[in-house]
Structure 1
Amino acid sequence: MENTTRTRIHPMMAVAAASVALVSLVGAASIAGLLPNSSAKNAPAETPAVAAAPVTAPVAAPVAAPAPEPRRVVEHKTVVHHVNAPQPEQQVAQASAPAPAPAPAPQNSAVGIGIGAVVGGLLGNQVGSGNGRKLATVAGAIGGGYVGNEIAKRNQQQQPQQ
Structure 2
Amino acid sequence: MEQIARTRIHPMMAVAAASVTLVSLVGAASIAGLLPDSKATTAPATEPMPVVSTAAPVAAPAPVPTPEPRRVVEHKTVVHHVNAPQPQPQVAQAQAPAPAPAPAPQNSAVGIGIGAVVGGLLGNQVGSGNGRKLATIAGAVGGGYVGNEIAKRNQQPQQ
Same fold (TM over 0.5): no
TM-score of the two chains, using structure 1 as the length reference? 0.43
Give the TM-score taking structure 2 as reference length: 0.43
Higher-RCO chain (CA-CA 8 Å, sequence separation at least 6) = 1
